Structure 1
Amino acid sequence: MLDFSLVVQYIPFLLQATVITLEVSVLATALGLVLGLIAALMKISKIQPLVWIADFYIWVIRGTPVLVQLFLVYFGLPQLGIQIGPFSSALIALGVNAGAYIAEIYRGGILSVPKGQREAAQSLGMNYFLIMRRIILPQAFRVSIPALGNQAIMMLKDSSLASLVTVSELMMVSQRFAATNFAFIEFYITASVIYLILTTVFTFILNKIEGRLSISDH
């Protein structure tokens, strides 16, 4: 028989772990947004070495499992004398992984902006950085919102991998209590419900943002 009363006394600990899950997800997504923008700008650059570097980064990261990348950061870097804690390792690995995917999202958004707008801005004497900041990137970001939202939701779920490097996030804490109480179904179902609630809230917020942006277009 399933006994969810076992879970009730551990709810405060699960909620604390949920906060850590959100911290990993939000910070890793933020890092991915920054890295993705840099990689996207490098990829569309006319400077060939920058294009090669961006292509190599995207190729390697998208072509290897995120779990391998996480283990390389957490277990591999100390072998080179670089000591990084579990939280930072998870943040770096997940952020770098997300950046490769976000770079392609940004690139698609940037290329979707009509060339005529850039040419018009150039005719007005605007330089490359001003054109990007005021004309290209705002439109590219708006177009990319749905894909970036999906990436943020994926990050929320991928944050569970941080448990494999001893980060006390939701999955790690759920595993610990499940093993202690021999109540695996109860704790894993509870963790699933919490993840479902978080992803539903994220989706609701992203849909609101997308709706407001679409209204502003009109």
Structure 2
Amino acid sequence: MEIWDLLHQAAPIMLRGAGYTLLFALSSMLGGLVLGFVLAVARIVPWKFVHWPAAVYVSLMRGTPLLVQIFVVYYGLPSVGIEFSPLMAGVLTLSLNAGAYLSESLRGAILGVTRGQWSASYSLGLTYPQTLRYVVVPQAVRIAVPSMSNTLISLIKDTSLVSVITVTELMLSTKEIIAVTFRPLPLYIAAAMVYWFLSICFEALQHRLEKKLERAHQT
């Protein structure tokens, strides 16, 4: 079978898998952003009973392999009565992992806002939550966009790991085709090109968002 014929036949299956890859990446990014913001705020508040659990969680998730985390959620939790579908387990684990990394990006961005902004807000009578919401967070988001975009691009590649729990995303779709055609090299290269294309698209979106936020900041 010629390579082009092989790729033509494999394209529908691989594109369907790429759709699941996008679903995992975007869903996990959304969940990770929510968790990351909560963790970032918990890391900067002065209350130790809030700060330390958040710090331990971030250290744990960043210090252990994502593959091990997937196994714990999908294969380990059922032993204590908590069971998820492969799709839910994949999204949940990626969200929990991404939240730890995004929290560090957001925390650094929040701390990057000058103390004068905080002082000016307090002098206007704003409370701590109001200062965060209306003054600090909008500036921090602009600062954190590049690092958060890098996390999303990493998530696109990390979705390949959920193939180990039988989720038919791009990597598992490619493996299924290889099991039938016995042509691993062109198909793995094609899968790599799809991941690369998705990453390039998100890099372009990142640059556009950065420019838009920069123009909004200057007006």
- Shorter-chain TM-score bucket reads over 0.9
CA distance in 1, matches of 2:162, 2:25: 10
TM-score, structure 2 normalization: 0.97
Q: Which residue identity does 1:22 align to in structure 2?
A: L
Which residue is equivalent to 1:216? 216
- 1:112–1:140 CA contact under 8 A, matched in 2: yes
The Cα offsets for residues 43-98 of structure 1, whole Å up to 9 and x where unpaired, read as 10111110011111011111111110010001001111111001111111111111
The size of the alignment, in residue pairs, is 218
CA distance in 1, matches of 2:125, 2:108: 26
- 1:21–1:170 CA contact under 8 A, matched in 2: yes
Which secondary structure state, in structure 2, belongs to the residue aligned with residue 4 of structure 1? Answer: helix
Deviation at 1:134, TM superposition (A): 0.5
CA distance in 2, matches of 1:42, 1:132: 12
Matched, 1:149 2:149: yes
Deviation at 1:2, TM superposition (A): 6.4
Question: 1:1-218 to 2 correspondence within 5 Å?
Answer: 3-218=3-218
CA distance in 1, matches of 2:172, 2:118: 49
Q: Which residue identity does 1:14 align to in structure 2?
A: M
Aligned residues with identical type, % of pairs: 37
Structure 2 residues not aligned, in runs of 5+: none
Deviation at 1:99, TM superposition (A): 0.8
CA distance in 2, matches of 1:153, 1:123: 40
Q: Which residue identity does 1:118 align to in structure 2?
A: W
CA distance in 2, matches of 1:15, 1:2: 20
Deviation at 1:217, TM superposition (A): 2.5
- 1:4–1:186 CA contact under 8 A, matched in 2: no
CA distance in 2, matches of 1:32, 1:2: 42
Q: Which residue identity does 2:132 align to in structure 1?
A: M
Deviation at 1:124, TM superposition (A): 1.1
CA distance in 1, matches of 2:2, 2:57: 47
- 1:45–1:51 CA contact under 8 A, matched in 2: yes
- 1:2–1:186 CA contact under 8 A, matched in 2: no
